[in-house]
Amino acid sequence: MTQLIKPHGSEQLKPLYVADSKARELLSNEAAALPSIIISSAAAGNAVMLGGGYFTPLNGYMNKADALSVGASMQTTDGLFWPTPVLNLVTDTASIKAGDKIALKDPNIDGQPILAVQTVESIETFSDAEIETLTQQIYGTTDREHPGVAEFVAQGNTALAGPIEVLNYSYFEQDFPDTFRTAVQIREEIAALGWTRIVAFQTRNPMHRAHEELCHMAMDRLNADGLVIHMLLGKLKPGDIPANVRDAAIRKMIELYFPPNTALVNGYGFDMLYAGPREALLHALFRQNMGATHFIIGRDHAGVGDYYEPFEAQEIFDSLPEGALEIELFKADHTAYSKKLNKVVMMREAPDHTKEDFVLLSGTAVREMLGEGKAPPEEFSRPEVAQILMDHYRS
């Protein structure tokens, strides 16, 4: 059996999904009679990630002390490295008391079915000042225009902490049956393929030529056995391309431009935080849990607007304590097609180039072209990929 990288803070994965069908049925029946709350989309994403083993070794939602400790020092109170709080924040707890078992209802599915059962160990309220401090620590800003900040501060100030048992994976299994995978399933796929050096690539967007070539570069330079393109399937900010369109475009690229059995296309059920450096750390942590040994981080990873410096998400890894994470980083520069060299290069590796020597297009320009039914130049986007995106914009 292939020896894979160890999960974070644990000898083995700790998925909180109730895998035994009999036990799950019993718990579902019990849950129907429990007091219930409709949780936020963020808390639902946390439940899905906990269920799939991505958030190993956590056993549920953090309490206030752990959340504040994570904000201040990226460690829980018992010293576990963790970059962002994993919370179930609510506005109203009138019917709940510590010690209760409660049903957590899914806000993202019609009828709000029960997603998980939580044993409430504590109910604690953050002051407005504590929420403000936490927001600054996680997002690097308290600006309500930042989509992650707006989402975070809207959830409420009261944390319900305690372990959870997860009953399903929300809408992700139904909507993305070929793509949504748990950390457990991805480890199994990697082991079955016999890979030991695995590069992970995070995306919330379709992949253009530069992304594709960056993955090839990383695989070549790291002598990797395989690549996992791991896409976010949860909520994005308005204007981002929906997951099903991204999925189709990425699969087409893999089919045509990667050798067989060298790349897996998978996705995970979580909403984008847009938290830049802190989210980059979280991304690396749960890629280690799914079995990747290396993780590509490029320019403005998990960023939005101008809130973060271009390489801040790489630099934060340099300040981690020894052994915080086992997964290794592949630090990438901005990649673009060089007209001089007739290939995609990392811009820092072409010091004799000027800006005019590269094919550079802004996201806005690309969206306008696609919306008008014009394919971006082939140096920028594969024609087969561009076609899928044009069809989306025209519809």
Amino acid at residue number 116: A
Q: What are phi and psi of 72, to 5 degrees?
A: -80, -40
Other beta carbons less than 10 A from residue 321's beta carbon:
11
382 carries an active-site annotation:
no
Sign of CA dihedral 144, 147, 153, 155: positive
Q: What are phi and psi of 342, to 5 degrees?
A: 55, 40
Integer Cα distance of 95 and 340 in angstroms: 67
Q: Which of 261, 151, 265, 289 is nearest to 211 (CA)?
A: 265
108 carries an active-site annotation:
no
Q: Report yes or no: 130 and 87 within 8 Å, Cβ to Cβ.
A: no
Integer Cα distance of 222 and 219 in angstroms: 5
Catalytic residue among 157, 205, 251, 367: 205
Integer Cα distance of 314 and 330 in angstroms: 9
Q: Report yes or no: 122 and 161 within 8 Å, Cβ to Cβ.
A: yes
Q: Which of 145, 137, 116 is nearest to 49 (CA)?
A: 116
Catalytic residue among 24, 197, 204, 299: 204
Q: Which residues are catalytic?
A: 204-205
